[in-house]
Amino acid sequence: MADWRTAPIGAADSALCAFAVKLTLHPHDMTPADLDALRAHGFDDRAIHDATQVIAYFNYITRVAEALGVEPESFIQPWGAPRP
């Protein structure tokens, strides 16, 4: 899926993706309402915590790799590239 906004995913997955985008791009804008939006889709506090940890980890490790100039592994295909 190239764009989660147009992908055939459910409302809960869409809400989680929106949360991930906001946390990634605008972390200073996060409010309790963002958590409430996930709860409204059935996510409990543990699920929200776990999702936040995963999102934050990927943001962290990507920034470390970018800062240090780490090149992608040659065996990993770019996102969206056709499989051989």
Give the tens place of pLDDT for each residue, 18-49. Answer: 999 999 999 999 999 999 999 999 999 999 99
Cα 76 to Cα 50: distance, rounded to the nearest angstrom: 26
In this structure, is the dihedral angle defined by the CA atoms of residues 4, 9, 63 and 32, taken in order, positive or negative? positive
Q: Check whether 59 has a pLDDT greater than 80.
A: yes
Query: What is the predicted pLDDT for the residue at 25?
Result: 97
Q: Which pLDDT tens digit goes with each residue over 67-82?
A: 999 988 887 777 667 7
Q: What DSSP element (H or E) covers 16?
A: helix 11-25
Query: What is the predicted pLDDT for the residue at 1?
Result: 65
Q: Residues with Cβ < 8 Å from 47, sequence gap 6 or more?
A: 38
Lowest average pLDDT, out of 4-13, 51-60, 66-75, goes to 66-75
What integer is the mean pLDDT of 45-57?
98
